[in-house]
Structures are given as C-alpha cells and as structure tokens.
Amino acid sequence: MAKLSYAASFVEWFANEVKRLDGRTVPTHIDDAHLSTVMEPVGVAALITPWNFPVEMITRKAAAAMAAGCTVVVKPAHKTPLSAIALAQLAEEAGFPPGVFNVVIGEPQMAMETLVSDTRVRAVSFTGSTRVGGLVAKTAAASGIKTLGLELSGNAPFIVTEDADFEQAVCVAVGAKSQMSGQDCCAANRILVARPIYEQFVEGYSEAVKALKVGNAFEANVDIGPLMHQAAFDSTVARVNDAKAKGARITVGGKPHALGGWFFEPTVVADAHPGMRIYNEENFAPISAVSPFDTLDEAITRANDTEYGLAAYVCATRIDTIFQLVRRLDFAMVSVNGVKFTGAPIPFGGMKQSGLGCEGGAEGFEPFVETKYFCLGNLGLPLSSAA
C-alpha cells in the first residue's frame, strides 16, 4: 500500500502544481510593445519505465506530462507489464479520453526503438541503466531533435563522519542499503566510515544487517526479498567472490540464502576498496561495501570517484561538516541523517552519467513543455512601460 500511495502522490502533486505552470510578462525594451511568454505542451511523450518501481515511475512521468497537456505512450519494463495495464484501465475508468494514456508492450529493444524513433513523439522520458539510456538518446537523436529526460544508474556513497550519532548512522545505513532489497538506484552502495569509529561501525552495522528478515513479500515483516532474475543473482555471487579474493572481510552473509531460488543473504563486505567489483559497480543487491577513511577530503574524493552522480548520504552532526559535504559532493541529491528524501515535491535527477533533467517538483514539467514567447507591437505604449 505504501508504494501505491507513493505512486498516487505524483498524480495529486502535478494536478495541483499545473495551476502554477504559468508564463511571465517581460519588461519591454521595444517601444509600443508588450512582451510575454506562455507554456505549451510539447506533444506526444514516450515514457520508458523500469521494473523496480513499476507503478511509481509511470505516475511520476505521466502525471507531469498529462497535466501539462501532453498525451503519453508508456513502454513498461517487459518483466513488469501488468502495472502499466492496470493504470491504463484505471485511466479509462476515471474518464480519460481515448488516446491520452496509452501502453505498448513488446520485445524491449524493438519496442523502444519503434517508439522513440517515431517522428510523432516529441519528448522521451527514460528511467533505467546508463548503458540503455545512451541507446535511447542515440535512437532519439537519429529521428530528429526531441526533448529528452534521463534518470540513470547510481553508485551512492554513504559517508559516516567521526562526529555522527553512531546509533542513528547504523539505522540510516541499514535503511539506505536495504530499501527495495538493495535493488534501487538510490540505495547506498559504498559506505565510507571515519577510521576512529570504523571497527565499531562494522560491528554494529553487521549486527543490524544480520537481524534483517529474508522471505517472501507476502509474509509479515519481511525486510529482504529475492533478486529480480538469474543474471542479478549471478552478478551478486560474482561480486562477493571477487571481494573475498581481493582481501575483503565478510562479516555477515556472503552466500546464497537457504531459501534457494534468487534469494541472497544480506551481506556486509568490510575493508572494501577500489578495484573490487562491489566497490566500483552499482550493486542491485543486499550487499554492502564498507571501508574506512582518514580525512574529510579523502572521503569526498573517494565518494566523487565515480562516473555517476545520483544520490549520496551523509551522517554527521557538525553543521560545518554537513555543509562541506553537501556542497562538495558531486551528486544531485544528498540526504543528511535520514533515509527518506524522495517524493513528489522534490526535483529527482542525477549529475554526470546518472541522468539528464529532473522528475518531480516544479522541474518535473520541463521535458513536457515548450516556452513560447510573443511580442505584441504597435500598442501605443512608451518604451519605459513595464508591461
């Protein structure tokens, strides 16, 4: 229910925010003229969404596009098409005119290329990996200039400074890593801890991770579910084995879960370092790479040493430390002393190879609108008039 409420929040937000989607009056520099802008819908919008948030990623895009006046064509992930079909049925029951909210399903690359290359499509919004995002951008460019919004991969650092509230830091780290069983582009990926509290943190964090309940989502109080598919499971096994071979300590977990299938034990890999796959790559799994740092400059340098720039986490209490980290981290979103930071009112997006543009907030309209300027001349107004 929480995920459905989150999805619905985007519909409510954009339905209200569109009331403020206005143009502006420009002080004139042309004698006898009135200068203004208006916002107009860009046209048909293609929305390509991932499997891990099969409802929320559709409503975050579609609510903004339709509120702005665009019609939409949704291509959901091929592994989770039923959520999109259910939304289409709800749109019909709500009285949407035919052709406003559309869903297409097919072989992933063929469906993407067909949709994105169609010249009738004027805006493309994609959420997924950086690799596929590049293919979407290339396909869009080949068929003419289109508005493009990309929300791509992450490699989120989680920095725990020496002055952090220790118990809070452990709690936040567990939440930031275990959300969606680690299968979330904003999940904490590299946990960097000040050396004076490093061993204490590894012990406390390991105990908290060990207490997580693994099981079927339909069971009560389950924290960690299965991985999405065999490829994800195999990659997780390979990353943990690579870390062990390169000298890491496995303090909790480290192997497939006794439940079998695609379940993997929540795992803490201590003493992780650059060169290990678990440190360098985005881990869509409940596996944590933890390592120490000696200075704040070192922590910032290591956190920024990635091509991605989506989300970062900070646990600290000194306000000067917090502001240094917020300003110097090359990530579009920084969460301080908490797990939850997303939502309909905030501009969700990435820097560097993590994306282009934002979704949510007032910025969420940007891929779906054009600014039209007009000049009304010969009105008999003096040059000094501020129309």
Nearest-CA neighbor of 370 among 65, 116, 112?
65
Pairing of strands 249-252, 348-349: unpaired
370 flagged as catalytic: no
- Concatenate the DSSP letters of all residues of 275-340 into one string: TSHHHHS---SSEEEEEEESSHHHHHHHHH-SSEESEEEEE---HHHHHHHHHHS--SEEEES-S-
Does residue 287 contact residue 255 with C-beta atoms inside 8 Å? no
Strands (E), the chain: 25-26, 34-41, 44-48, 72-75, 101-103, 121-127, 147-151, 156-160, 188-194, 249-252, 267-270, 287-293, 308-309, 311-315, 333-336, 348-349, 351-352, 355-356, 358-359, 369-376
Are 283 and 189 within 8 A, CB to CB?
yes
DSSP 79: T
Residue of 17, 56, 151, 282 marked active site: 151
Catalytic residue among 185, 186, 315, 358: 185
User: Known catalytic residue: 185?
Assistant: yes
Q: Residue-wise over 319-338: b if at least 16 C-beta within 10 A, else e?
A: eebbebbeeebebbbbbbee
| Residues annotated catalytic, as ranges | 151, 185
